[in-house]
Structure 1
Amino acid sequence: MPVWAWLGGAILLEVIGTIALQQSAQFSRTVPTLVMALCYGFSFYALSVVVRSMPVGVVYAIWSGTGIALISLIGVVFLNQHLDRAALAGIGLITAGVVVINMFSGAGPH
């Protein structure tokens, strides 16, 4: 499987795990807690595959930055959470950083 597919899977699992973390109510609900643990575990496994081909700093920046943007979007759209202008600007800068890494950096496979 291509390294970008592994990274995309790691991001998706991290996002699902983070949603489950919020739904676990401080680990008091069993099913969301198990979903969170499994998703985070498999996400880290996928990251371990990716870091064999890409520098860990680049992998982590893409994984965490994309995860932050997706979780924020899900929070606004589905969880009725609100972000102020500063939060939106920060998320925009994170997204811009991920785009710059993906488009212009020679540090990862293309």
Structure 2
Amino acid sequence: MGYLLLAGAIAAEVAATTAMKYSEGFSRLLPSLVTALGYLVSFALLAQTLKTVSMGTAYAIWAGVGTAVIAGIGILLMGEGMTATKAAGIALIIVGVVVLNLGGAH
């Protein structure tokens, strides 16, 4: 159940960050509200996740997967360029999350 909550926290964080792009510096009401609500939901779900998943593992997955997904959205939907350096950075994030998970929770 913890990892399902974590997936929801990641989805909410990705939605909030994407909405922030459209808020134009919080000058547009609807995207600004989606941003605030998305982060509120994300942190609430992350807090629930921490009841069953170790803090280091949960945060690494939340931050790492969220960052990689946002980078992908930027590339695929917002016209941001893909460079070898950017691809390597995304790969390193994913590898870092995998290595932390292989280390196990204690």
TM-score, normalised via structure 1 length:
0.90
1:69 corresponds to which residue? 68
**Matched residue type, 2:36:** A
Pairwise CA distance, 1:101 = 2.9
Identity %: 42
Separation in structure 2 between the aligned mates of residue 87 and residue 77 of structure 1, nearest angstrom: 13
TM-score, normalised via structure 2 length:
0.93
Superimposed CA distance per residue, residues 25-79 of structure 1 (whole angstroms, 9 cap, x where no aligned partner): 0000000000000010000000000111122222111100000110011111111
1:56 corresponds to which residue? 55
Q: CA RMSD in A?
A: 1.3
Pairwise CA distance, 1:17 = 0.3
The answer on 1:27 being equivalent to 2:30 is no
Structure 1: gaps (5+ residues)? none
Separation in structure 2 between the aligned mates of residue 105 and residue 96 of structure 1, nearest angstrom: 12
**Matched residue type, 2:105:** A
Separation in structure 2 between the aligned mates of residue 31 and residue 12 of structure 1, nearest angstrom: 18
1:9 corresponds to which residue? 8
**Matched residue type, 1:45:** A
**Matched residue type, 2:32:** T
Separation in structure 2 between the aligned mates of residue 94 and residue 106 of structure 1, nearest angstrom: 17
Pairwise CA distance, 1:96 = 1.0
1:96 corresponds to which residue? 95
Structure 2: gaps (5+ residues)? none
Pairwise CA distance, 1:87 = 1.8
Separation in structure 2 between the aligned mates of residue 73 and residue 24 of structure 1, nearest angstrom: 20
